[in-house]
């Protein structure tokens, strides 16, 4: 294992970083222009389009030259990115602050190849858990899984937040065309009571099953929603005993079995995830149980195979895998062009939650200000990820992408074929319009308007970078490939910056403060709270006045 995880050298003082800084300044000073880059290299489009698995990735519309690529690869070599990837995939404790391995890739790798954590092979446990999940879902689909009154389960409600919801919920939308019609799946995450109320609308307790997903089983929002769901179930079963209601209508997915059992969940209904699977990387684990209930074990397996395909590409080309280029490009814009954000715009209605999922895995992983050894980061880290779905986003925020004062690198994701189940007469034609819009946006961003004499209000400067990722159609495998591609991109970023991408201590303070504030909100006397900062105390006073008005 390399010593990169306890790195003491600042990447910004390495020769590759310094050379990249100089190179960026030169390009900026000479006004590098995408149109000129294409003009100078008739094969640029072909050369800068890479295939991996089913994905075609066009990165030709970036402000990079051959020198840029060489220097970025030198930076990756200097930062030990390839070694970091190898260490991660082979079970070394790369999550140094929590002293844990990071093995989401093992969830989808060949079960016959051992991966060891603390001297024991984790692959048999993964295979066994996937088999338990499949048996559970098969029983559900065959109406063999019954509620307390003997009714078949018809609805599955996932209760979980963050990584225990975003990935599976995103995939549930993305794979709408692959859903099994035996059960309807819903996702409830927010502690806002409206989230549970809307999630339960129209459901009957007798035929509803809750999947409480929480790695630590201590997340306040999840436990609050799960308790309310328990009460709803008991009431809906005719004031049934809560223990019985929970036994028949609740399953848990957790790395903390004791807490799930203490909550009342039957040990036979507890699915395991592990410390070495980060929540935001966990959709291939039992955290994807609700997703598997929706799409069935075979489609879930195909999604895992898609992820594995990219993993295999990465582990067999650790020096130059495609996610390496994408990660390096993000570093290029973030650190050498001052870009603060990345727009993610899938031209796919069913990928409309993709950017929301990506926000957590990039921003929670790499939104850090110190390096693995605790020393301050000498440069910026993760970009702000935002976006929407094309074509809707064109009528919303693309104006700023084209003519705003800020350069926002964009990722466009598009499928070459229409989803199989949207067979209206003109579906194919409309899908072509969708693809055309995607290509048009990338071109307009890159090349802008050519008439320099035109009214300045109507001029588009161009020279705005974007990547286009295209796949044949949105299948479980393609979705898995996209997920894995971005997961690896994050590891590349984190390795360059020398940070631990796998903890998230920044979210803890807010949780503690909320716990202390809620006590004062629950205090109906509204007495002036004493233990808060003046601003919070003021808000609490206003809260009591408004609530009582
Ligand atoms: O908000 C922090 C976080 O720990 C995320 O990283 C995680 O995905 C989410 O909360 C939910 O955690 P858990 O699965 O333990 O309920």
**364 in active site:** yes
Please give the average per-residue pLDDT across 76-84, as a whole number: 96
Q: How far is CA 485 from CA 101, 109, 364, 376, 491, in A?
A: 20, 15, 17, 28, 10
Task: Give the model confidence (pLDDT) of 365-407 as tens digits.
Answer: 999 999 999 999 999 999 999 999 999 999 999 999 999 999 9
> What was the pLDDT predicted at 5?
40
Closest ligand 1 atom to Cα of 282 = 8
Angle at 258 between CA 255 and CA 263, to 5 degrees: 105
> What was the pLDDT predicted at 6?
43
From atom 13 of ligand 1, which residue's Cα is the shortest distance away?
214
Torsion of CA 110, 116, 120, 122, to 10 degrees: -40
> What was the pLDDT predicted at 419?
78
Task: Give the model confidence (pLDDT) of 425-442 as tens digits.
Answer: 788 889 999 999 999 999
* Position 163 confidence tier, pLDDT thresholds 50, 70, 90: very high
**Is the CB of 216 inside a 6 Å radius of any atom of ligand 1?**
yes
Task: Give the model confidence (pLDDT) of 240-267 as tens digits.
Answer: 899 999 999 999 999 999 999 999 999 9
Closest ligand 1 atom to Cα of 280 = 8
**Is the CB of 215 inside a 6 Å radius of any atom of ligand 1?**
yes
Angle at 535 between CA 367 and CA 532, to 5 degrees: 85
SS3 call for 422: coil
CA of 282 to the centre of ligand 1 (A): 11
CA of 256 to the centre of ligand 1 (A): 13
Is residue 1 predicted with pLDDT exceeding 70? no
**Is the CB of 367 inside a 6 Å radius of any atom of ligand 1?**
no
What percent of the chain is predicted at pLDDT more than 70?
Answer: 97
Q: Mean of the per-residue pLDDT values for the chain?
A: 94
* Position 420 confidence tier, pLDDT thresholds 50, 70, 90: low
Q: Picking from 14-23, 28-37, 385-394, 447-456, which range would have the lowest pLDDT averaged per residue?
A: 447-456
Is residue 328 predicted with pLDDT exceeding 50? yes
Q: Which residues contact 178 (CB under 8 A, 6 or more apart)?
A: 295, 296, 299, 475, 476
SS3 call for 23: helix
**221 in active site:** no
């Amino acid at each position: 294992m390399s010593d990169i995880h306890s790195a003491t050298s600042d990447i910004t003082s390495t020769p590759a970083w310094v050379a990249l800084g100089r190179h960026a300044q030169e390009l900026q000073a000479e006004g590098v222009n995408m149109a000129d880059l294409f003009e100078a290299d008739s094969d640029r489009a072909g050369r800068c389009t890479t295939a991996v698995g089913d994905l075609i990735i066009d990165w030709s519309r970036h402000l990079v030259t051959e020198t840029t690529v060489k220097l970025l690869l030198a930076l990756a070599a200097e930062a030990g990115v390839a070694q970091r990837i190898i260490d991660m995939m082979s079970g070394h404790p790369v999550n140094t602050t929590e002293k844990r391995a990071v093995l989401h890739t093992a969830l989808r790798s060949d079960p016959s190849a051992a991966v060891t954590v603390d001297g024991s092979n984790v692959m048999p446990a993964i295979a066994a858990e996937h088999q338990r999940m499949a048996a559970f879902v098969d029983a559900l689909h065959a109406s063999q899984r019954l509620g307390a009154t003997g009714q078949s389960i018809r609805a599955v409600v996932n209760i979980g937040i963050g990584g225990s919801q975003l990935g599976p919920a995103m995939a549930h939308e993305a794979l709408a065309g692959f859903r099994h019609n035996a059960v309807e799946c819903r996702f409830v995450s927010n502690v806002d009571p409206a989230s549970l109320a809307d999630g339960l609308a129209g459901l009957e307790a007798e035929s509803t099953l809750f999947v409480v997903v929480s790695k630590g089983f201590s997340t306040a929002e999840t436990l609050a929603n799960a308790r309310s769901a328990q009460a709803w179930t008991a009431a809906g079963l005719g004031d049934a005993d809560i223990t019985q209601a929970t036994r028949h209508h609740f399953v848990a997915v957790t790395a903390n079995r004791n807490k799930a059992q203490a909550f009342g969940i039957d040990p036979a209904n507890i699915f395991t995830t592990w410390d070495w699977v980060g929540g935001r990387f966990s959709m291939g684990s039992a955290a994807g149980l609700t997703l598997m209930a929706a799409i069935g074990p075979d489609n879930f397996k195909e999604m895992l195979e898609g992820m594995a395909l990219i993993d295999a590409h990465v582990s067999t080309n650790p020096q130059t895998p495609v996610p390496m280029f994408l990660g390096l490009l993000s570093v290029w814009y973030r650190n050498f062009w001052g870009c603060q954000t990345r727009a993610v715009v899938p031209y796919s209605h069913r990928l409309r939650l993709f950017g929301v999922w990506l926000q957590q895995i990039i921003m929670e992983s790499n939104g850090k200000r110190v390096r693995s050894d605790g020393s301050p980061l000498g440069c910026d880290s993760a970009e702000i990820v935002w976006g929407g779905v094309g074509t809707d986003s064109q009528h919303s925020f693309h104006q700023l992408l084209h003519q705003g004062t800020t350069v926002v690198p964009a990722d466009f994701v598009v499928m070459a074929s229409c989803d199989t189940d949207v067979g209206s007469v003109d579906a194919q034609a409309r899908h072509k319009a969708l693809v055309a819009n995607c290509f048009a946006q990338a071109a307009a961003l890159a090349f802008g308007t050519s008439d320099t004499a035109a009214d300045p209000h109507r001029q588009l400067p161009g020279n705005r970078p974007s990547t286009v990722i295209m796949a044949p159609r949105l299948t479980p495998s393609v979705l898995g490939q996209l997920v894995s591609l971005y997961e690896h991109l994050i590891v590349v970023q984190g390795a360059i910056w020398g940070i631990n991408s796998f903890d998230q201590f920044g979210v803890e303070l807010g949780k503690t403060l909320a716990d202390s504030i809620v006590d004062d909100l629950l205090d109906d006397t509204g007495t002036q709270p004493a233990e808060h900062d003046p601003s919070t105390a003021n808000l609490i006073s206003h809260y009591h006045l408004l609530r009582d008005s």
